[in-house]
Structure formats: C-alpha cells, structure tokens
Amino acid sequence: MSETIYGSIWIVGIFGIVIGRRRLLGYLNERNMAERALHESDERLNTLFMESPDVYLVIVDGIFVECNRAAEVMLRGDRKDIIGKPPELLSPEFQPDGKRSSESAEQIIKEALCAGNKTFEWVHRRLDGSDFFVEVSVSSMMLDGKPALFTAWRDITERKQIEQELQAKNTEMERFAYTVSHDLKSPLITIQAYADMIKNNLQTGKYERAQDDMKRIEGAADKMTSLLNDLLELSRAGRQMGEPSLIDMNRLVSDVLAQLTGVIKQSLVDVVVQPDLPPVFGDHKRIAQVVQNLIENSIKHRGDQTAPNLEIGTQLDGKKCVFFVKDNGTGIDPHHHERIFGLFNKLNTNSEGTGVGLALVKRIIEVHGGRVWVESEGEGFGSCFCFTVGS
C-alpha cells in the first residue's frame, strides 16, 4: 500500500516537473516571440525614421546623435559629417527678423521651448557653406535616460523668397503711390493757380494775359496726360505680355531707328549699329520699347556735344550676351546709377519726359528674366546702358 502511495507521489512529482517545464518553455517561447515582435517593430520604426521624406535630427547634450537620409540630402553631407557635431558648427549664425546672432542652435531651441514655442524659423548653414531658411518643429524626449531634442526640419527658402518679393512689391507700391500723388499734384496746382488768374484777368479785361494763362493750363494738362499714359504703360508692362517668340534683333533695332528718324536727324546724332546682333526670346513689342526708350534717353541727354554719337551692339559677359546702347553724352555720377531706374527719378528736373522711361525699361527686362544697369565714369564721360534678356 505504502509503495503504491510513494509511487503515486513520484508520478505526480514527475508530472509536475513536466508541466512546470512545459509552462517554462511556453513562457520562454512567448517571451522570445514578444522580443522578436519588439525587434521587428523597432526595425520598422527605424526604417520609417530613416526612409521618411521628412527631415529628422536628434540632439543630445548639444550634439547631433541621429539623423535620417532626408537630413543628409538637406544638409548636403553624409551621416559621418553630421553625427557627433554640434548644431552651432553647422549653423554658426542665427537670423531672426533679419538680425544675426552668434547664439548656438541648441540654445535657441531651448529658449524657444521655454517660451512655449514648438515651431520656429531660422537660417541654417549646410555642410557646403550655403545658407537656407528652415522651419524647425521640436519635441523633448528621453533617450537612453538622457533628455534629448527631437527636431523635424522643413526647407522654407522658396516661401521666404516669395515673402521677400511681396514685401519688396509692397514697398514699391507705397513708394509708387507717394510719388504718383506728388507728381500729379504739381500740374493740378498749376492748373488751379492759372485758372484763378484767368478768372481775375477776364474780370479786369486783360484778355491777352488770360490767353497766355490758358496756354500754361494746357501745358500742365498735357503733362498730366503724359504722366497718366506712362503710368498706365508701366502697369501693363508687368501684367500684360504678348506671346513670346524668337526676335530678330537686327530687324527690331532697324524698325525702332526708322520710327525715330525725325528725332535723330533733328538732334544730329550719329548712330552706329553692330552687325549680326544675336536673336532673343521674348515679347517683341516690349523689347522694342526697351530699345526705343534707351535710344531716346541717350538722345535726350546728349548734352552740348558738337558730334553726338550713339552705338548699339552686344558684348560677352562670360557666356552671357549683353546688349548695350552707348553714348558720349552728359554721363551719370556713379552715386546715381541705381537711382535713375526708379519711378520719376529725374536727375535733371528741367529735362524732357516724365521720368517713367527707365523704370519701364527695368520692369520689362525683369519680367523677361534679365537685368538692366548703366556704366558711366561720371558727368562728361557718356553712358552705356546694358541689358540682358533671360536668365
């Protein structure tokens, strides 16, 4: 009997050991499966981090400790060039609101977080030395028991450029409105003054003087009409462009000179045109306006030259073809080289014209993706107006 009992106990013990081992093996198996699942999850998260099109950089103790491939592309370097380096080495200068500072990138991030800002903008320096605008979104986290900064970056250079262009346009519009109101007031004041004088002259029987005053009013009205027409043309130049085409510049210059034959003969200007001018791609009407305005400007400012001359041609600036209209006229002080392309910026207030011509030239050339400038050593040395078409 006792042997049976002892045998049963032994069997139960063995069974318990077997069950215990099975449970242990099951537990270990489940743990291994969990570890494998966790490992696979980590692998997926790491793949998502590395292959994400968004730019991610992790900072610990002021050092880049991790970055993804998109960050390598944005910063134009390899991981080995980024990991282990402090952000301030890659971004030595910070530029909030146009002011530059020597604060470190990490310091700026921490200050932004203390102020409750999770997203902010700055200027960052790439590994190749170029700067770009970036929007940084930052979150605090713990990494291996240490506080870390997880940052997501977005290149906003294009947006910033558009904002700067809009700001420049707004500034130009404000200056335009002020200048227009100022220059249009002048003929209006003239008209009002002489209208009162006519009224008095008619009342006192001074009819001949009234006739002279009427001519002055007509002159002021003509000036206002010219101003308004030029301003309308200036506004159209930036908005209404014809279908671009390949322009034969030899024929265009010849046609413009034919239209100005009377003015050229009257001013006794000798005009020389280089042969074989290269063609350009653009709006034929607008490019003709550019050439005509530059020729008329040179004739207007020929000064007291006994033998005024004008040359139209091209020259190479590297691989870029530069057109020019060169004269031996009054010349322009270098301090005024930029100013003359502004609206109504006439260096000689007694000269003909409304002061819109060169501003119109600048607008048309900029719309065509080119630039215009003047070269002159100063008064008495003539001027050379240069322009390009296309970038």
Give the pLDDT of residue 252.
94
- CA-closest candidate to residue 281, choices 368, 163, 188, 159: 368
318 and 259 within one domain: yes
E-state strands within the chain? 55-60, 63-67, 119-125, 131-143, 146-155, 245-247, 270-273, 280-282, 309-317, 320-327, 372-375, 383-387
Question: Which residue's entry shows tokens 């020259």?
Answer: 315
Check residue 349 and give its pLDDT: 53
Q: Are residues 114 and 193 in the same domain?
A: no
User: Can you read off the two tokens belonging to residue 64?
Assistant: 């880049």
| In a shared domain, residues 215 and 302 | no
Give the pair of three-digit tokens for residue 298: 């040179």
DSSP 86-100: -HHHH---B-GGG--
Alpha-carbon distance of 163 to 158, in angstroms, equals 9
Same-domain check for residues 189 and 227: yes
Contacting residues for 191 by C-beta, under 8 A, at least 6 apart: 217, 220, 221
Q: Are residues 258 and 208 in the same domain?
A: no
Q: How many Cα neighbours within 13 Å face the side chain of 4? A: 1
pLDDT of residue 239: 59
Distances (CA, A) of 242 to 247, 289, 369: 12, 13, 15
In a domain, 100, yes or no: yes
Tell me, what's the pLDDT at 88?
60
Q: What is the pLDDT of residue 248?
A: 95
- Cross-strand bridge partners of residue 152: 56, 137
Q: Does a structural domain hold residue 34? A: no
**Are residues 387 and 254 located together in one domain of the fold?**
yes
Query: What is the distance between the alpha carbons of residues 76 and 55, in angstroms, rounded to a whole number?
Result: 12
**19 falls within a domain:** no
- The pLDDT score that the predictor gives to residue 385 is 93
State how far the Cα of 123 lies from the Cα of 132, in Å rounded to an integer.
6
3-state secondary structure of 181: helix
End position of a domain, from candidates 219, 240, 261: 240
pLDDT in tens, the chain (391 residues): 444 444 444 444 444 444 555 555 555 565 565 556 555 555 666 677 787 888 888 888 888 888 889 989 888 888 888 898 877 655 444 454 444 455 566 677 777 677 766 887 888 888 888 888 888 888 888 888 888 888 888 899 898 888 888 887 777 677 666 666 666 676 777 787 888 888 888 888 887 788 888 888 887 777 777 667 766 666 666 655 678 899 999 999 999 999 888 888 888 899 999 999 999 999 888 898 899 889 988 888 887 778 889 999 998 887 889 999 999 888 888 887 887 877 655 555 555 555 677 888 888 898 888 999 999 887 878 899 999 997 6
Cα–Cα dist 385/164, whole Å: 28
Q: Which helix (H) or strand (E) segment is 365 a member of?
A: helix 357-367
Which tens digits make up the pLDDT trace of 76-110?
A: 888 888 898 877 655 444 454 444 455 566 677 77
Residue 17, in any domain of the structure: no
Within-domain flag for 28: no
Number of domains in the chain: 3
Instruction: Answer yes or no: do 266 and 233 share one domain.
Output: no
Single out the residue in 212, 240, 268 at which a domain terminates: 240
Regarding whether 177 and 70 lie in a shared domain, the answer is: no
Residue 290's domain is classified under what CATH number? 3.30.565.10
Domain boundary at 139, 155, 171, which? 155
**CATH, residue 183:** 1.10.287.130
Verify that 290 and 263 share a domain, yes or no. Answer: yes
* Type of residue at 217: I
- CA 360 to each of CA 42, 209, 328: distance values in angstroms, whole numbers, following the listed order: 62, 39, 23
* CB under 8 A, 24+ apart: contacts of 355-360: 355/183, 356/227, 356/230, 356/231, 356/233, 356/234, 357/230, 357/293, 357/296, 357/297, 358/293, 358/297, 359/234, 360/230, 360/233, 360/234, 360/237, 360/289, 360/293
Residue 181: per-residue pLDDT: 67
Structural domain contains residue 284 = yes
- Residue 124 is part of which domain span? 55-155
Rounded distance, CA 139 to CA 113, Å?
8
Neighbours of 94 (CB within 10 A): 18
**Residue 175 pLDDT:** 67
Q: Are residues 383 and 287 in the same domain?
A: yes
- pLDDT value for 6: 45
Q: Are residues 126 and 83 in the same domain?
A: yes
Distance (Å, rounded) from C-alpha 56 to C-alpha 163? 26
The model carries a pTM of 0.50
Q: Of 88, 78, 50, 356, whose CA–CA distance to 232 is shortest?
A: 356
Say which residue the tokens 């003087």 belong to.
Answer: 209
Read off the CATH number of the domain in which 87 is found: 3.30.450.20
pLDDT of amino acid 251: 95
Provide the pLDDT for residue 335: 81
Q: Do 194 and 322 share a structural domain?
A: no
pLDDT in tens, 292-313: 889 988 888 887 778 889 999 9
User: 141 pairs with which residues across the strands?
Assistant: 148
Does residue 385 lie within any of the structural domains?
yes
